[in-house]
Amino acid sequence: MPKIISIHSFRGGTGKSNTTANIAAILALNNYKVGVIDTDIQSPGIHIIFGMNEDNIHYALNDFLWGKCAIEQAAYEQTRNLNLNSSGRLFLIPSSFKTGDIARMLHDGYDMNLLSEGFKQLVKSLDLDFLLIDTHPGLNEETLLSIALSDFLLIILRPDNQDYQGTGITVEVARQLETPKMELLVNKAPSVFSGADLKTKIETIYNCPVAGIIPHSEELMALASGGIFSLKYPEHPVTKIYREVAARMIG
Amino acid sequence: MDQRSSAKTIGCAIVAGIIYGISNYISSRINLPGCSFIELRPQVALPMFMGVYFGPLAGFITGCLGDRVGYAFQGLTIGYAWNWSIGNGFIGMLPGAMSWLKIREIKSVRDYAMLLILIVAASFLPIVFASAIDIMIRELSLANTIYSLILPAFITDAVFGLIIVPVLLIVAGYIRFTIGIRNMLLSTYLLLFAVLTTYLVSAISMWGSTGSQTLNYSDIYNIGILSLVVLFIGLSISAVLVNKIVAPVMTLTDAAREISGGNYDLSARLEKAAKRDDEIGCLAAVFSRMAGEIYNREERLKKEVRDLKIEIDKTKQKAEVSKIVDTDYFRNLRTKAKELREKHE
Ligand SMILES: Nc1ncnc2c1ncn2[C@@H]1O[C@H](COP(=O)(O)OP(=O)(O)OP(=O)(O)O)[C@@H](O)[C@H]1O
Ligand SMILES: [Mg+2]
């Protein structure tokens, strides 16, 4: 059965887009058909990690929500350009990053039902095993919808007091939406943090499993969202953690 | 040496023994003009090397077999000068004490000093042994034996052993080039050639002034022994000095290794080296300070993590959550999500 997975964080800049892209690539390398959809309509970003720009995007998620195209028409296959040597496939459904489109979306809004319809159609027409949703930080309506439709919610947080409070809210809200599976991923942990210690602390506080603790990585930082880290550094410890998280999603 | 199989060891020793024997035969025919009983035997380094590299048994075989082979070329049978064959065996066996001392590779000044001592011992004791038997059996006079047998052989064998054995061991990869060893090699060869030059110059000048007929060999041997004593003292001093240079460097490298293993608390260990008034002292002081800084930082951060408290304001959280969930949108969403999931199952 196909799985819808939301990757979320209460605050911005936690590493949602990078985590989504890496996990998607790992799943595709494991011969799964994977879709990645950017529902961060206000501040889209994941297309950059896949190296997409205005020239190679014709339709985006926005066009589907405005009824201009079918959702598959906004899906761009990345399998070849990432050189994934597997029978898996990877599709990206970007959100438009033209400022006009973003402004119009914010101003006019869109039909939420259409978004959930879009997820369903996408899974069906591309015959996906996994649909990964890269969300906007905070708990706006499309994020709530994504969480509600998800089989698995991955909440990313940094070990930072500003993140702890918001994560508590997200966990509580997701519980009320009865998301079948919810896990936390700690990102950008300083190297001195002993993993086991932090993990138990966070698991007790939120009463929710921690899928992994990713240290703050100079290499990831230096890549500057210019590519998919796990493909570039397959032996890196951070890649190993991404793999473990992906394995938990496969279940 | 354990991994070198015994069959291979003995095979090598036999080959080396034959080479040693042929060289013995050749060198016995080449005499210095006018000094019929000075025999130059650079090949003596071979059994010594075999002893160090392959162990005492291999050294003994090389020396003993080689001696017999040499005699065999001269048409002499087993019974001839058997004591000298055993003596030659001892020349190879004594340096084999390296393996008894558990030295498998020369990597410290101490190992290297041990090598030199064993080379000198191997040039001396076996000849004393063989000569003593000659004295007993052939009733040679003691003074005659010392001046015609022991001293000439000892001086030339020791010099050739000291010059050649380290070279062979370097070629065989038995010597590791640590800073200490490099210094020792340097001082050994410098001293050796300095002493040798003085010895040869004085020997030649004596020869020149008296002529071979009236030359008093015992004077030359006395000078030779004196030279070896000087060499020994010089080497001992340089070993002590080199150790003084190397010891703090070793402390530093050990400390560096510990740091990479995660132990930063090194100030006590580096204290002595850091007090030195030279470049190494300066290096040790800087190193110790840096390690200390890292250590303090690490401890501070570790403490911070230990004290890390994840505090969540529950009332505030409740308020925020209810702001979201107590909306029509949310209630609708929840029902819809439930329906969807039930449909899937
Ligand atoms: N483990 C890490 N170590 C170091 N840098 C990281 C790590 N994870 C992510 N980053 C960096 O953090 C920045 C933000 O990452 P990313 O865009 O994936 O976050 P985001 O949550 O999607 O942000 P936004 O909320 O703006 O969409 C990027 O520059 C990324 O390279
Ligand atoms: Mg993002």
List the domain boundaries for chain A.
3-250
Q: How far is the CA of A176 from the centre of ligand 1 (A)?
A: 28
A residues 119-178 closer than 8 Å to B (CB): 139, 141, 144-145, 148-149, 159, 161, 164-165, 168-169, 172-173, 176-178
Note the pLDDT of residue B37: 56
B67 Cβ contact list (under 8 Å, min separation 6): B20, B21, B24, B84, B85, B87, B88, B89
**Contact: B330, A144; criterion CB under 8 Å:** yes
Residues of B in contact with A139 (CB under 8 A): 324
Residue B232 CB burial class (10 angstroms; 0-12, 13-18, ≥19)? middle
**Which residue in A111, A147, A169 has the most chain B C-beta atoms within 10 A of its own C-beta, making it the best mutation to test that interface?**
A169
**Contact: A192, B298; criterion CB under 8 Å:** yes
Model pLDDT for residues B74-129, shown as the tens digit of each residue: 888 877 889 999 999 999 999 999 988 888 899 999 999 999 999 999 999 999 99
With H, G, I as helix, E, B as strand and everything else as coil, classify residue A38. Answer: strand
Our answer on whether the CB atom of A220 is closer than 6 Å to any ligand 1 atom is: yes
Note the pLDDT of residue B257: 87
d(CA A129, CA A152): 13
Whether ipTM > 0.90 holds is no
Instruction: Evaluate if residue A58 carries a pLDDT over 80.
Output: yes
Q: Measured between CB atoms, does A202 come within 8 Å of chain B?
A: yes
pLDDT tier for residue B1 given thresholds of 50, 70 and 90: very low
Give Cα B193 distance to the centre of its chain: 21
The residue-averaged pLDDT of A48-63 equals 92
Instruction: Evaluate if residue A60 carries a pLDDT over 60.
Output: yes
> Which amino acid residue places its CA nearest to atom 15 of ligand 1?
A15
Model pLDDT for residues B244-286, shown as the tens digit of each residue: 888 888 888 888 888 888 777 777 788 888 888 888 889 888 9
pLDDT tier for residue A26 given thresholds of 50, 70 and 90: very high
Note the pLDDT of residue A38: 96
d(CA B243, CA B253): 15
Our answer on whether the CB atom of A135 is closer than 6 Å to any ligand 1 atom is: no
User: What is the position in ligand 1's atom list of the atom closest to the CA of A238?
Assistant: 1
In chain A, what percentage of residues exceed pLDDT 70? Answer: 99
B128 Cβ contact list (under 8 Å, min separation 6): B150
pLDDT tier for residue B2 given thresholds of 50, 70 and 90: very low
Average pLDDT over all residues of chain A: 93
Do A36 and A24 form a contact (C-beta atoms < 8 A)? yes
Q: How far is the CA of A22 from the centre of ligand 2 (A)?
A: 13
Average pLDDT over all residues of chain B: 87
CATH number, span A3-250: 3.40.50.300
d(CA B153, CA B150): 6
pLDDT tier for residue B3 given thresholds of 50, 70 and 90: very low
Model pLDDT for residues B179-221, shown as the tens digit of each residue: 899 999 999 999 999 988 988 888 788 777 766 566 677 777 8
